[in-house]
Amino acid sequence: MGVIFVTGGAGFIGSAFVRLVLDERSGIEIVDLDALTYAGNLENLAGVDGSRHTFIKGDICDRDTVMGAVPEEADAIFNFAAESHVDRSIYSADEFLRTNILGTQVLLDAARAKKVKRFVQVSTDEVMGSLPDDSDEYFTEDSALKPNSPYAASKAAAEFCVRAARKTHGLDTVVTRCGNNYGPRQFPEKLIPLMIANAASDEPLPVYGDGMNVRDWIYVDDHCRGIWLAYERGRSGEIYNIGARNEMHNIDVVRAILDALNKPHSLVKFIEDRPGHDRRYAIDPTRSETELGWNPKVKWEDGLTATIRWYQENQAWVEHVRTGEYREYYKGMYDARLAASEPRS
């Protein structure tokens, strides 16, 4: 039985990864460290096989906790733990720098101390900044790092720490860079679950700017399969872009949700833009396709239908995560901007 160490396994993507590995790799045991911040939720792990999954509540920045938790000679560390929401990083960057950079360094140090065989850093296309509208430019693994938000800057810095651990200390590392994920259990501060929740309760759908920003959407399980293949088949020191070639304007995503829920487009409210809002993300996943044999399996229409159904069937989950903290966040982020928005078709 092999053992892997997963951080952030109670979050959106980390919990999908834990499920996938337990379902599809019977010889793997998982030790899962998560601080259970506002975005972490043990309900995300409901029903997983407890005989092969050990959950530890703890902070990746806490060196003693991490050293105590990482198993000797583990097969791999998969680092999902992060502060992950761009809007929150604009409001305050401190936690982003702490968790995303310092936390990653603590994990790299633990990987060396515990002789972990491979370190997989789960990164994001956002480290590469923004592409021009309507161009045929794509992010490749050789694109320059040009992060534009404090979140993206912290993830880029984490990548540099990973690179340095390999070059300086010879740690075996792989980095994955994925685009925007969607699927069950995503915290409703992100575009798709926020719009599903608001549409379902006939509240306004706040779209930033002109709604023409482009994101490259991928179903969460496809991302997780790519991470696993990068671990199994990736070359040491390499970066692998993961993307489903599914660029969409935000407004089209929002209207697709309204149509699926049979709600009027008039619920859309265009509000003041996010500062520094990246215009377009678009990933060239050729390296993952050719070297890893990775391909996305879930079509956008099917993934969106499954996601909406999951939120409809899991109202209790939604209510539990929409805590007082969430309501305060929502008020601060949206109330004034919604009040100032002009009606537009």
Catalytic residues: 125-126, 151
Task: Select 166 or 322, whichever has its Cβ closest to ligand TYD.
Answer: 322
Euclidean distance between CA atoms 195 and 255, whole angstroms: 10
Question: If binding is defined by CB under 6 A, does position 45 make contact with ligand TYD?
Answer: no
Give the whole-angstrom CA distance, residue 137 versus residue 178.
Answer: 16
Residue 14 contacts ligand NAD per CB under 6 A: yes
Distance, in Å, from the CA atom of 229 to the CA atom of 176, rounded to the nearest integer, reads 10
Say which entry of ligand TYD, ligand NAD, none residue 116 contacts (CB below 5 to 8 A, set by partner kind): none
Inter-residue contact 285 to 242 (CB < 8 Å): yes
Candidates 11-19, 188-196, 221-229, 236-244: pick the segment binding ligand TYD (CB under 6 A). 188-196
One of 10, 77, 101, 162 touching ligand NAD (CB under 6 A): 10
Give me the residues paired with residue 29 across strands. 3
Is 270:211 a contact under the CB 8 Å cutoff? yes
Q: Binding residue for ligand NAD (CB under 6 A) from 59, 221, 247, 284? A: 59
Which member of 78, 119, 138, 187 binds ligand NAD (CB under 6 A)? 187
Minimal distance, residue 310 CB to ligand TYD, in Å: 17
> Residue 191: phi, psi to the nearest 5?
-50, -60
Least distance (Å) from ligand TYD to the CB of residue 160?
20
- Asked whether position 213 contacts ligand TYD by CB under 6 A, the answer is yes
- Cα 234 from Cα 266, distance rounded (Å): 47
Q: Does 180 bind ligand TYD (CB under 6 A)?
A: yes
Mark 130-169 with x for binding to ligand NAD (rule: CB under 6 A) and - for no binding. Answer: -------------------------x--------------
If one asks whether residue 208 binds ligand TYD (CB under 6 A), the answer comes out as: yes
Residue 61 in contact with residue 25, Cβ under 8 Å?
no
Pick the closest to residue 72 from 26, 110, 126 (CA basis). 110
Strands (DSSP E) along the chain, which ranges? 2-7, 28-34, 53-57, 76-79, 119-124, 173-178, 180-182, 205-208, 214-219, 239-242, 247-249, 268-271
Q: Which does 206 bind (CB under 5 to 8 A by kind): ligand TYD, ligand NAD, none?
A: ligand TYD
CA dihedral 155, 156, 162, 168 (to 10 degrees): -150
> Closer CB to ligand NAD, residue 84 or residue 213?
84
65 binds ligand NAD (CB under 6 A): no
Q: Does 61 bind ligand NAD (CB under 6 A)?
A: yes
